[in-house]
A and B are shown apart, each in its own frame.
Chain A
Amino acid sequence: MSINLLPTELRPKSYALKLSVSLRKIAIISTIVFLVVSTFLTAAYLLIGNRANASLKKQDDLKRQIKTYEDTEKKLVLIEDRLDKIKTISKSENVNDELAMLKNVIINSYSGAYIKDVELKTDKAVVLVVAGSSLDITNFFRSLLQNNEFSLVTLEQLKFSPSKGYEVELSLVK
């Protein structure tokens, strides 16, 4: 049987002893947790770093490979650049629609009337039609209106003289 020779006032109380035991256990557990977490974090850091480095190396290799295709890329960039600009040009103001309308009028128009003057503008086509009689003019209008090519047909001017016959100026919008 062991005998504690320390005076009782120098001995820790039993509650302090119990608390000390608990604290020691907590200290050991927290140290273990700390070590495990630190090891895990270090391992994860190194692993991810390794993977990033490997990926960077692969990237360099891919970049070198792309360099060998530089001529192909240059050609493709040039083609795309030209096509993009040609698209812009084709969308710029022109008289293509008006030209199509004029072609249509000429192909389908009544033969008793003839087209004397034409002006193609970027927004409309102005046509001066000459006919010998009012019947010819009527037939011309009929042939024109059978055509669904136009969204608006405006009679700008109608003139008659015995020597020239009827002169009709029409403005056509697609």
Chain B
Amino acid sequence: MLKSIYRRIYTPNVQILVGPFTVIAVTAILFILVAKNGYLRINKQLNVLKTTRATERILESKINALKEINQNILDKTDITLINLPNKNSGILMFSQVKDLGVKSGIQINDLETGNLKKLNDDISSIQIKVEGNSVDFASLINFLEGLNKVAPVANIGNVKVSTIDSGVLESVTEVNTFWSKLPTELPPLTQPIKLLTQEEEIMLSQISTNVLPNFATLNQEEPKDRENPFR
């Protein structure tokens, strides 16, 4: 029974076509599989190549930029840090105000710190209230303008000036001085380097001319023998 069905279906006409047809079908299936897989893999590999080439270009330009950075700019690192220290700059500003008072002919009567606040998440400030006497507006203006030319950077809040009976100008100046914590990490290696803009270079040369505070320097001493107090 089965044999006769088989003979009826698997006729000589069919027998002669089965071979080539099977080859075509298998080749077509393999072709689809290989083409699809191959395309996906090659596409993936091309994306990898594209990314690595882009990173390579960034790294190359970064190295070139690092090699070409002007040494004069790098030498000003300390100056920028003095202009905006990483710790409370109130003490430094105290000294600057006193020095500036002497230079401008202002008699400083009282210095008071307070009003500790944050300008934003990164920058903190403290206010120094300066009470002083001056003989004329010229010396007071010199003093106020001088506050904008000292390191650490400061800005002037309110100023109140009144002439007292003797003709002397009595002033109360609110000076804000700032500090900010240092950056904690370098940008990722693959991030392009950002060089200083022209505006930043101008600003850098401006703050480089700010009057630096007088730091107390302690000279190194040789170790001494400990004296015997019972001798």
A-side interface residues toward B, CB under 8 Å?
9-13, 16-17, 19-20, 23-24, 26-27, 30-31, 33-34, 37-38, 41-42, 44-45, 48-49, 51-52, 55-56, 58-59, 62-63, 65-66, 69-70, 72-83, 85-90, 92-96, 99, 102-103, 106, 115-122
Contact = CB atoms under 8 A, between A and B. Distances in A.
Nearest to B207: A86
Contacts, number: 217
Contacts of A74: 186
Interface in B71-116: 73-74, 76-77, 80-81, 83-84
A75 B187 CA distance: 12
A26 to B, nearest CB: 6
B84 A82 contact: yes
B27 A34 contact: yes
Contacts of B207: 83, 86
Given A59-B52, A66-B59, A85-B123, 7 more contacts: A41-B38, A62-B63, A79-B196, A86-B84, A89-B123, A89-B153, A120-B158
B190 to A, nearest CB: 8
B194 interface: yes
B159 interface: yes
A52 B47 CA distance: 9
Given A78-B182, A88-B123, A95-B158, A34 B34 contact: yes
A32 B162 CA distance: 101
A33 B83 contact: no
5 contacts: A11-B12, A16-B12, A48-B45, A63-B189, A103-B141
A116 B123 CA distance: 37
